[in-house]
Amino acid sequence: MKLLLDQDVYEATARFLIDLQHDVLRVRELGMAQASDEENLKKALELKRVFVTRDRDYGNLVFVKGIRSGVLYLRILPSNINRVHAEVERVLSLYDEHELKSAFVVIEADKHRFRKI
């Protein structure tokens, strides 16, 4: 799966996704670490990648501003990282790339919410 990671995603999460054999690109690798949330989301759409973030503001961009890019919103902290990673792995096995590119998915420890956009 092609993923674009926001600058706030933990390095441990990036390594976890790479270890699962996903195609991981970070916004900082594109020189966009200081870009706006809207610019980052539009870049994910342009690159045909699912955007991964810890920033809750992306829901507003997807549902209010209408930027139709798939987002995995991780509700993750150091204290629950293993449980959230397990749920991320589950989400990535339950849904294909096409489904995730047109959804906003909130991923928490032991559960997720999938909403089509």
| pLDDT reading at 33 higher than 90 | no
Instruction: Return the half-sphere exposure (C-beta side, CA atoms, 13 A cut-off) of residue 37.
Output: 15
User: Which pLDDT score is estimated for 7?
Assistant: 95
Question: Taking residues 29-43, what's their average pLDDT?
Answer: 94
Question: Taking residues 96-116, what's their average pLDDT?
Answer: 97
Confidence tier at 1 by pLDDT (50, 70, 90): very high
Tens-digit pLDDT profile for residues 40-65: 999 999 999 999 999 999 999 999 89
What mean pLDDT, rounded, does the chain reach?
Answer: 96
User: Which pLDDT score is estimated for 109?
Assistant: 97
Percentage of the chain modeled with pLDDT above 70: 100
- ∠ Cα 65 42 4 (to 5°): 125
Confidence tier at 75 by pLDDT (50, 70, 90): very high
Burial of 80 (0-12, 13-18, 19+ CB in 10 A): middle
